[in-house]
Structure 1
């Protein structure tokens, strides 16, 4: 029996299998969500992209079925639950693998799976996020295998190269890549490169000797771009002329990327179209970095980088020597903006001016290193609507209500 079906309430009739999928929810616990702000202001944890896929997409492809979000009330209208009752709760901050899938789907009724003190999953009956949280106290069984757990925003870029490889293997199994037709494109490690239909490449250098390169449908790589895997380029995204893309980077669908990118994740429909460096960073959706915007990812004294923690309301030690910028959705930076190591930018911030802006920029901030004021909500919404319409997306009432909640509860520019 194929392991991905084992435990999913199979009915076995000789060699014939009837599979009855369980109702599965990826559950956001408040403690986990708080540690992943500002990215989780605007999405459930399972909607975070790491590797090629989002966490939800990883679970759905490996389980071969649809799963639901159970997330914060402020996100429930945009990300509603798909069921009114569930049989299996999974920690939405955990990335799946084949061994973990096997253990989870073989849990006994009213049994919880843990790795040390980390809750992974529970099999039991529940309908709400609060009811799912009660299941954590059920009898525990230990999981000792490999586990990728996204406990902080910087966990995303730290584990991105690994997850690109995992997703690449999952998505390309049994499939044949579209060809690279351009005679002027130089390729190393061609067996580790996969193109979906409609990819355009001209006079680029692709090096997949040390990790795979995955190019989604309709993506484009322009002349002179140099790319080293592991790397993933989303549907309809574009790498501009002479860009330099280093290992461990993911560019989401609809993005336009230029300059230098290193071990970073850029979510859908965000632009870093011009020269400038972005390293060891995560950018949310609908962001824009102006020309020659740069971030520092290494302190001059080579000590650990500290980053703002919403949970404690203070800076904490990341224990990382390389750590750059984390930016929430709909935030923008003007030309020549310089971000210091370990900078956190909230949602709908507009940053401009000379010098380094502060390392913690709350949501709906307007300004730079000299002063920050609160961004007028209506003006911010007008900009968000224009930006989304430029890429064929409709800014709707649900989007506005979610952003208004963030504005009322988390914008504290001063």
Structure 2
């Protein structure tokens, strides 16, 4: 009888390092391609996670959103632990034996470990810190980069993550005869859910990669979608939008203008003209008409990024890097975002010049300078936007938001 694989535990060892992406979700819930990291790990290993593990501050939110045990270990003499920051899970994870760990070359980041139950429990309760790993653990080196260490890494690993995700749809039936004037270009796979609506004069350009359009999505007349690309369930691509390669749009978004190389977590609006490139966008974000970002310096040099006022500026080693935008951020019409900008959770930006490269959480930026977004006003706006999608914030969600506001000062 074949031996059963060990229960899979996806653990969140350092969510703070990925803020603002992880202010309102655990690292394994972050959409790092067409899928979240948790979904990709499960597909790569061929089984569902038996449990996930995260900080106490995020555990309640994760338990509301996920159909999996949170911070509770399943039965089993040994457990397979995989880091929630592993955006590109390698095959070597499934080959680990008890007492072995997979580490990323260069920085030695822990990718995964196959541990005896007592060792796994001790490690997880210590917050997934390397010092809590058992002595004598044998290390196996992972040569290719697979871990998120900084928010910019979601763009660094984006193309490979999207390619891995879209390959899962390769067996779905190739679409034919979508309607009058709909053009399909190229030889890559195009998968359109039967409930999706593709309007006349849409171009699906699969010359550069596959295109997947999910349930109840709508692509309006004149839109052009270039693969590889993913349009999530219930999202709308507005008239004459240009969706460029390596874009992944989560559920219930409304997207227009020119968008390329950008990941939307979900439930966000960029319905108007304006460029957004090589960026990551959280939930409940609204881009005012004409909002545009820079994803390339005039010098063609390396982009720097600073994730918060207290963080160090990081040399990203990247030439193309746009913005990382936290949940509930709002932008006035005509906003201009700097190359490598980071916009904190709940920020409001309404400046006539370039927005600051780093905008703190719950900052209210105008030409008069920076103020704090009053929490009572913020919550009214938050509830109004979520209500437009027939959704309500849970008590835990509101408390988490208030806690983030208190930390912001």
Query: How far is 1:147 from its partner?
Result: 4.5
| 1:231 lines up with 2:229 in the alignment | yes
Match of 1:5 in 2: none
| Structure 1 alignment gaps of length 5 or more | 1-10, 13-18
- The 3-state SS of whatever aligns with 2:113 is strand
Match of 1:123 in 2: 114
* Residue 85 (str. 1) matches residue 73 (str. 2): yes
CA shift at 1:359, angstroms?
1.1
Query: 2:17 is matched with which residue: 19, 29, 35?
Result: 35
Q: Which whole-Å CA distance do the structure 1 matches of 2:50 and 2:143 have between them?
A: 23
Give 1:279-318 correspondences, 5 Å limit: 279-310=277-308, 313-318=311-316
**Counterpart contact for 1:305–1:342, Cα < 8 Å:** yes
- Matching of residues 10-409 of structure 1 within 5 Å: 11-12=1-2, 20=4, 22-30=6-14, 33-62=15-44, 63-80=46-63, 81-82=69-70, 84-85=72-73, 87-97=79-89, 100-101=90-91, 103-116=92-105, 117-124=108-115, 125=117, 126-127=120-121, 128-130=124-126, 132-133=128-129, 134-135=132-133, 138-144=136-142, 146-173=144-171, 175-189=172-186, 191-202=188-199, 203-310=201-308, 313-409=311-407
The gaps in structure 2 that reach 5 residues or longer are 64-68
In the alignment, the residues of structure 2 paired with residue 300 and residue 20 of structure 1 have an alpha-carbon distance, to the nearest angstrom, of 55
Q: CA deviation at 1:384?
A: 1.1
What is the root-mean-square deviation of aligned Cα atoms in Å?
2.1
Mapped partners of 1:306, 1:107: distance in 2: 36
Post-superposition Cα deviations, 1:326-349, rounded to whole Å, max 9, x if no partner, equal: 110011101111111111111111
How far apart in 2 are the matches of 1:136 and 1:41?
30
Tell me how far 1:45 sits from its aligned partner: 1.0
Q: Distance in 1 between matches of 2:146 and 2:177?
A: 33
Counterpart residue number, 1:6: none
- Structure 2 residue aligned with 1:16: none
- Measured after TM superposition, the shift of residue 199 of structure 1 is 1.3
The offset of 1:305, in angstroms, is 1.7
Q: Secondary structure at the match of 1:267?
A: strand
Deviations along 1:167-211, one digit per CA (max 9) or x if unpaired, are: 1112333x3245442130111125411112211112111111111
SS in structure 1 at match of 2:284: coil
After superposition, the Cα gap between the structure-2 partners of 1:138 and 1:349, relative to the gap in structure 1 and judged at 3 Å, is farther
SS of corresponding position for 1:284: strand
Question: How many pairs align?
Answer: 389
Task: Report how far residue 240 of structure 1 moved.
Answer: 0.5
Distance across 2 between alignment mates of 1:235 and 1:48: 17
Query: Does the aligned pair in 2 maintain the 1:211–1:229 contact within 8 Å?
Result: yes
Distance in structure 2 (CA, Å) of the matches to 1:129 and 1:71: 10
Residues 56, 67 of structure 1: 8 Å contact kept: no
